[in-house]
A and B are shown apart, each in its own frame.
Chain A
């Protein structure tokens, strides 16, 4: 239902090459504090449709915090307060009229450490659709599971053991299973919090390839510690430092000719 038609995708991809694609999510003056510690200061950041936006910066700079604000995962942390406005398609996601459960179905999330549920591969993927009632029968559910696994590039590897435990897969497969799980509820935006940090280089390459493919259908925000990864997969990059947004712009520009000295230092490995 949230999936775009083929034509719309074409249009969106076409639009990107000419002008800036439309804004999907927008943060304005976002301030976040955990108890007495303020983690984010006045962050303004746009996430554009069908682009991969990479959030980079040294540890503790607030990039994960910002990411978790985008689907209100911070709500689950006790003592966390969010100020400012974040919109999804122009609607404030912190507005009381917004149902956080619905929001999270639209803005899916993939975590740092692969966290498949202790269920079968099939059940892991079917979990979201089942909760949201996306399938009316078994055949439809089978189709959703297969499509999601295919999109996550995992189907061929696991098609013969869909009903074995998801925790029995390798780390890279588990992470792609988590991506399939997120895709299965047809979100518009997928948030990825260092999705490759627990994976080996080969699995990382597969996931990165996957992210690039997913961009066609979804809007992706990814937090990463790897500069190469940000350069490889993202179209726009935002650099955070000490809770502030230092600089944001097209990835090509950020990595070749950044405006801010701190960005320059960070991406050339001088600190962080």
Chain B
């Protein structure tokens, strides 16, 4: 019986347990609801939980552990010279055996007879059944495959038996537990809390998993390129083409990329912060209710535009516009028309990214400014301060820590942005202070290094993980700092 059927059976038992639990609760209460500690539904839920949860838990564990156990046992039964092969070959052999085992299960007695008579070999026979075997079938494999197959079916049988038994025992046990003063409600509550905790821990564990997956690759990268060269190198030149040549390692200097990232983010913040903040102040302090209800959603629509669309905007509109206007200015100033702003430049990317960030700044700051208690405004206005004095001297200082937190969150978004930069600032890794020239960022280079047909062993690709983890650490620090400030801000008044 497969796992899905088992799950259905367990759930049916749980449903049965719910009904049985309710009925028993009503019966032990003598149909006087007030003599029960909890309402009868809670007793039903209590029984259902004890029926389903432990058995499903064991089922999940079984599904994870049993293939591992079986595989290792089959592997131990393989000939010694196979076991002596390197690790990568082990996986290959086990993969083959697994496919053969799968194919064998589909064979009819006639097929078996043909195989035995030698009329057909194993590989082509399985091929007929639609199971492709990668490489020749070695002599020891059918035996191992049969062993694997047998262990799997035995495991399946035991599993079904154990799971359903466990569900039944859980049902019986919890059903017997039901007494009028039993606190079923509290137990159900505990299970709900556990479920909520599980949900939040999944989010955290995923983050940890992401970091760990990068750490091992990064470590491999640093075995071929020294960290000092990576973190303090000023030349980015991974040299794809020269693979296999004498100095194929290339140069992996982080500095030009980091500088480009921070420079573009800086220009973007220079655009987004004043515009976003003033917009937020207008929205929260001056705009009437009706205007606010129209304009605020409109502003937030900006946040919903995919960044690649901003990239188009930069590529086809802003970039050429800046180039042309710089040519005009140059013409007016020196009488010779030549553009000093290139179409792809730090300025273009920064401008467009800044536009993208405006709604983040304004929306977050708006919420923070609105959260400043009305009493602060009243207090200041009541002393004869004007509206703008009140904002400048009372509301803004009170909201400042929160706003700084919001800005840091926005900055970490700017640092992680990719698509706008690819289209607006180009992919040339250069170290320059001139905002009118192309530069590139860490994220763009990550995409660059990982696009195409690549093997995951060369430093040219592994560097992407080192870049990724560097970026992750930077944005993580920014976010932590932002959260710290926001938390501090919460204590400011009260």
Contacts and interface: CB of A to CB of B under 8 A. Distances in A.
A84 interface: no
A-B residue pairs, 5 tightest by C-beta = A105-B384, A109-B382, A115-B375, A104-B384, A128-B383
B384 A115 contact: no
B112 interface: no
B113 interface: no
A118 B492 contact: yes
Interface string A105-121: 11011010101111100
Interface stretch (B44-52, B393-401, B449-457): B393-401
A217 interface: no
A78 interface: yes
A103 B385 CA distance: 10
A25 to B, nearest CB: 16
B383 A185 contact: yes
A106 B384 CA distance: 8
Interface in B375-404: 375-386, 389, 393-394, 397-398
A27 to B, nearest CB: 19
B200 interface: no
Nearest to A128: B383
A111 B394 CA distance: 16
B373 interface: yes
B108 interface: no
B57 interface: no
Nearest to A132: B384
Given A78-B289, A115-B375, A118-B493, A71 B393 contact: no
B118 interface: no
B46 to A, nearest CB: 46
A78 B394 contact: no
A117 B379 contact: yes
Contacts of B398: 117-118
A88 to B, nearest CB: 13
A77 to B, nearest CB: 10
Interface of A: 71, 73, 76, 78, 101-106, 108-109, 111, 113, 115-119, 127-128, 131-132, 167, 178, 181-182, 185
A117 B384 contact: no
Contact of B493 (A76, A102, A167, A185): A167
Contacts of B375: 111, 113, 115
Contact of A104 (B289, B382, B393): B382
Contacts of B382: 71, 73, 104, 108-109, 111, 182
A111 B380 CA distance: 11
Nearest to B398: A118
Nearest to A165: B492
B254 to A, nearest CB: 41
A108 B373 contact: no
A76 B383 contact: no
Most buried by B among A78, A101, A106, A118: A118
Nearest to A71: B382
Interface of B: 288-289, 373, 375-386, 389, 393-394, 397-398, 492-494
Given A118-B492, A181-B379, 9 more contacts: A73-B378, A76-B378, A104-B381, A116-B379, A117-B376, A117-B398, A118-B398, A167-B494, A182-B382
B142 to A, nearest CB: 79
B384 A73 contact: no
Given A78-B288, A131-B389, A167-B493, A117 B380 contact: yes
Contacts of B288: 78
Contact of B373 (A104, A106, A115, A182): A115
Contacts of A113: 375
Contacts of A76: 377-378, 381
Nearest to B375: A115
Given A78-B288, A115-B376, A118-B493, A131 B381 contact: no
Given A118-B398, A118-B492, A167-B493, A127 B386 contact: no
A182 B393 CA distance: 16
B492 A108 contact: no
Contact of B393 (A109, A131, A181): A131
Nearest to B386: A101
Contacts of B383: 104-105, 108-109, 127-128, 131, 181-182, 185
A102 B386 CA distance: 10
A109 B384 CA distance: 10
B251 to A, nearest CB: 52
Nearest to B389: A131
Nearest to A119: B397
28 contacts: A76-B378, A101-B385, A103-B384, A104-B384, A105-B383, A105-B384, A108-B382, A108-B383, A109-B382, A109-B383, A111-B382, A113-B375, A115-B376, A115-B379, A116-B379, A117-B398, A118-B397, A118-B398, A118-B493, A128-B383, A128-B384, A131-B385, A167-B492, A167-B494, A178-B379, A181-B379, A182-B382, A185-B383
A116 to B, nearest CB: 8
B379 A73 contact: no
Given A118-B397, A118-B492, A118-B493, A185 B384 contact: yes
Nearest to B401: A118
Contacts of A101: 384-386
A263 B425 CA distance: 77
A56 B62 CA distance: 75
Nearest to B390: A131
B59 to A, nearest CB: 56
Contacts of A78: 288-289
B457 to A, nearest CB: 57
Contacts of A131: 383-385, 389, 393
Given A104-B384, A105-B384, A128-B384, A117 B378 contact: no
A117 B393 CA distance: 10
A110 B383 CA distance: 9
Contacts of A185: 383-384
Contact of B384 (A102, A118, A167, A178): A102
A116 B492 CA distance: 12
Given A101-B386, A102-B384, A115 B289 contact: no
B472 to A, nearest CB: 35
Nearest to B395: A117
